[in-house]
């Protein structure tokens, strides 16, 4: 029998004045709270085994917080650490994950409490998965010719008799409608998308957002479109002034990476556009039973020859707390029946990397694979090998963390081998 439960827990009643993570050039801490931050959780159980999928309205959740949260989840809900996926939405308008003024009992306690609530609310359920597409709302900020993945992942979860329990959904686009000139606490557009879906699905429904492969993808808001229209030409980050500077004066190129000037109205529109596409796909899905849940926890070691160095002039928008020699965790979460495979990576994954992994897993039989970024840790940027010759601050961050060009190639090998091993193990079971 399949059982599932959701929970939504508001966090951070004392956020005003807190330093906000996401922009090195933001002047001052939070001036107030525009929309509340949440931890949302989904627990799915089949065959006596359960997995927990958590979404936190923060820019990043470091490994130390993940480890503490997993230990509490295991103690309070009985879900093993390797069966809990904890991912940040990556909003750039929220405090740091270790700010004790915001979370006096620690953020781990808030995450574990959400999972405990979801576990306590589990009921007989059915699950369905599918895909939508949303184009025209995002732009590749690194190179204009590089891809933007339009795929929208949707996991519909209903009570066994048909009423909606909630939805788990994913899309790859930076939550940076609000730039460094905004000092209000906000979940940016993912918060709007979740709120709209929850209002439409019912008073008890929860919408858990998973950020996709968005390291080089920014929102294409009305403000960005207007500045593009006013510029003589448009440039990507590699061809423009360093670190998201704005072009000065008429006739200058516009850097699509510039994040200033975004409004809450624009964040609302983007969130609603994604929610509308999720709802469209949701209506067409036919949920069925989950026949099994599984996870594969993988460790990606530091490649030989990678030499850490300081970020220097790039500044600090949240330097990872994990040491350079600590392995990078990759977590595969599978829901058999609907054919879902979630691939968690602890940082910023490029759009093309996400597309390539999805294609490779589909070629091996996974019907609904989706790459979840910012999952189970924070290692900043995780660029593919072909990005390294170009450089840029994403690659500079990777070098600063002791990574190497082979990172995503090595990760791909581990992920595909683990999935093939899982399918072989399942085939051998009576």
Helix (H) or strand (E) holding 223, with range, is helix 222-230
pLDDT at 393: 82
* Contact in structure between 208 and 87 (CB atoms under 8 Å): no
What average pLDDT does the chain have?
A: 91
When pLDDT is averaged across residues 319-331 and rounded to a whole number, the result is: 89
- State pTM to two decimals: 0.95
User: Is pLDDT at 367 greater than 60 in this prediction?
Assistant: yes
Instruction: Quickly state the pLDDT bin for 331 (edges 50, 70, 90).
Output: very high
Instruction: Quickly state the pLDDT bin for 252 (edges 50, 70, 90).
Output: low
Q: Residue 315 has what DSSP assignment?
A: -
Distances (CA, A) of 287 to 1, 126, 203: 14, 5, 20
When pLDDT is averaged across residues 307-335 and rounded to a whole number, the result is: 77
When pLDDT is averaged across residues 126-151 and rounded to a whole number, the result is: 94
Instruction: Quickly state the pLDDT bin for 315 (edges 50, 70, 90).
Output: low
pLDDT at 239: 57
Distances (CA, A) of 63 to 60, 256, 377: 10, 32, 4
- Listed range (36-50, 111-125, 182-196, 224-238) with the worst mean pLDDT: 224-238
- Listed range (143-147, 215-219, 221-225, 352-356) with the worst mean pLDDT: 143-147
CA distance 37 to 320: 22
User: Is pLDDT at 237 greater than 70 in this prediction?
Assistant: yes
Closest CA to 60 of 356, 322, 333, 412: 322
Closest CA to 342 of 366, 377, 369: 369
Instruction: Quickly state the pLDDT bin for 79 (edges 50, 70, 90).
Output: very high
Within 10 Å of residue 75's Cβ, how many Cβ atoms?
A: 11
User: Is pLDDT at 253 greater than 80 in this prediction?
Assistant: no
User: Is pLDDT at 245 greater than 80 in this prediction?
Assistant: no
CA distance 188 to 59: 11
Residue 394 or residue 71, greater confidence: 71
CA distance 359 to 373: 17
DSSP string covering 368-406: EEEEESSBSS--SEE--GGGGGG--HHHHHHHHTT--TT
Structure tokens at 141: 């900020």
pLDDT at 391: 85
pLDDT at 311: 53
Helix (H) or strand (E) holding 191, with range, is helix 188-201
Q: Distance of alpha carbon 269 from its chain centroid, rounded?
A: 20
Region of 125 (left: φ > 0; alpha: ψ -120 to 50; beta: rest) is beta
pLDDT at 313: 45
With pLDDT > 70 as the criterion, what percentage of the chain qualifies?
A: 93
Closest CA to 116 of 67, 206, 52: 52
pLDDT at 241: 41
CA distance 372 to 354: 9
- Residue 140, φ and ψ in degrees, nearest 5: -75, 115
End-to-end CA, the chain: 18
Structure tokens at 42: 């989904």
pLDDT at 316: 57
Structure tokens at 125: 């359920």
pLDDT at 159: 96
CA distance 76 to 40: 17
- The pLDDT tens digits for 52-77 are 999 999 999 999 999 999 999 999 99
pLDDT at 197: 98
């Amino acid at each position: 029998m399949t059982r599932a439960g959701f929970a939504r827990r508001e966090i951070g009643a004392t956020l005003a004045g807190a330093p906000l993570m996401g922009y090195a050039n933001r002047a001052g801490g939070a001036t107030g709270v525009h929309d509340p931050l949440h931890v949302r959780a989904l627990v799915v159980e089949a065959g006596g085994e359960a997995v927990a999928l958590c979404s936190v309205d923060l820019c990043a959740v470091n490994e130390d917080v993940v480890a503490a949260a997993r230990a509490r989840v295991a103690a309070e809900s009985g879900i093993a650490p390797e069966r809990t996926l904890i991912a940040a939405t990556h909003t750039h308008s929220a405090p740091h994950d270790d700010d004790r003024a915001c979370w006096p009992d620690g953020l781990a306690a808030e995450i574990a409490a959400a999972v405990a609530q979801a576990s306590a609310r589990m009921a007989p359920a059915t699950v369905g998965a599918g895909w939508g597409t949303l184009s025209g709302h995002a732009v590749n900020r690194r190179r204009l010719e590089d891809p933007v993945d339009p795929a929208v992942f949707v996991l519909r979860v209903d009570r066994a008799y048909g009423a909606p329990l909630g939805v788990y959904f994913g899309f790859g686009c930076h939550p940076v409608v609000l730039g460094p000139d905004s000092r209000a606490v906000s979940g940016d557009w993912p918060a709007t998308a979740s709120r709209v879906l929850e209002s439409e699905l019912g008073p008890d429904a929860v919408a858990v957002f998973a950020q996709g492969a968005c390291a080089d993808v920014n929102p294409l808001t009305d403000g960005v479109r207007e500045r593009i229209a006013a510029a003589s030409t448009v440039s990507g980050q590699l061809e423009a002034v360093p670190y998201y500077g704005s072009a000065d004066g008429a006739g200058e190129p516009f850097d699509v990476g510039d994040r200033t000037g975004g409004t809450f109205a624009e964040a609302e529109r983007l969130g609603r556009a994604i929610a509308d596409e999720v709802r469209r796909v949701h209506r067409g899905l036919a949920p069925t039973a989950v026949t099994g849940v599984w996870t594969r926890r993988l460790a990606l070691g530091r490649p030989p020859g990678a030499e850490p160095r300081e970020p220097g002039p790039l500044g600090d928008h949240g330097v990872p707390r994990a040491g350079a020699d600590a392995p990078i965790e990759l977590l595969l979460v599978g829901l058999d029946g609907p054919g879902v495979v979630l691939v968690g990576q602890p940082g910023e994954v490029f759009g093309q990397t996400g597309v390539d992994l999805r294609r490779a897993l589909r070629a091996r039989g996974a019907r609904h694979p989706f790459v979840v970024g910012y999952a189970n840790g924070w290692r900043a940027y995780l660029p593919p090998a072909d990005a390294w010759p170009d450089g840029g601050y994403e690659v500079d961050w990777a070098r600063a963390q002791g990574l190497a060009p082979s990172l995503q190639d090595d990760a791909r090998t581990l992920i595909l081998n683990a999935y093939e091993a899982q399918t072989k193990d399942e085939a051998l079971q009576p």
